Amino acid sequence: MRGFKTFLLRGNVVDLAVGFVIGVAFGAVVTALVKDLVTPLIAAIFGKPDFGALTFTINNSKFLYGDFINAVVAFVLVAAVIYYLVVVPYTALVSRSRKEPPADPTTKKCTECLSEIPIAATRCAFCTQPQPA
């Protein structure tokens, strides 16, 4: 029983459980957004939001290909909403918060003529003055 308790109280199990619960809740929000806002918008533009009635029959077997089309459209819409409303803003936020350190300089200014010379140069190529180390 002690090993089971240790397993349950490890941080990654709790983190996974919290992430799963938040993911389910977020999935419900995205599904509602697609169902209540995006699908009616498509219906307003194209005229037919539901393909569920589309079927064909072969040897008394009914094929509900309209339901399959609905599922594909719903998947594409959910994926698009998640991408454009979550992934793109999150990526922009993370890239803005990650500031890269400035690159090491590869040149320096000559002390006499102020020309750009390589950082390892001991003499200026333009005025031939010796450079400090």
Domain 2-97 top-level CATH class = mainly alpha
CB atoms within 10 A of CB 8: 10
Distance in angstroms (rounded) separating the CA atoms of residues 100 and 82: 28
Phi and psi torsions of 101, nearest 5°:
-65, 150
Q: Quick one: residue 101, left, alpha or beta (phi over 0 = left, psi -120 to 50 = alpha)? A: beta
Q: What is the mean pLDDT of residues 60-68?
A: 86
pLDDT digits (tens, 9 = 90+) for 70-85: 788 778 877 887 888 8
Query: What secondary structure does DSSP assign to the chain, as a single string?
Result: -HHHHHHHHSHHHHHHHHHHHHHHHHHHHHHHHIIIIIHHHHHHHHS----TT--EEETTEEE-HHHHHHHHHHHHHHHHHHIIIIIHHHHHHHHHH-PPPPPPPSEEE-TTT--EEETT-SB-TTT--B---
Do the beta carbons of residue 110 and residue 127 sit within 8 Å?
A: yes
Give the pLDDT score at 49.
65
Q: What is the mean pLDDT of residues 4-8?
A: 74
Tokens of 68: 């399959």
Q: What confidence tier does 48 reach under pLDDT thresholds 50, 70, 90? A: low
Give the pLDDT score at 116.
92
Q: Which residue has the higher pLDDT, 3 or 9?
A: 3
Q: Where in the chain is the domain with CATH 1.10.1200.120?
A: 2-97
pTM: 0.49
Q: What is the mean pLDDT of residues 112-127?
A: 89
Token look-up 């009616």 returns 40
Q: Which residue has the higher pLDDT, 63 or 14?
A: 63
Query: Does the pLDDT value for residue 43 go beyond 80?
Result: no
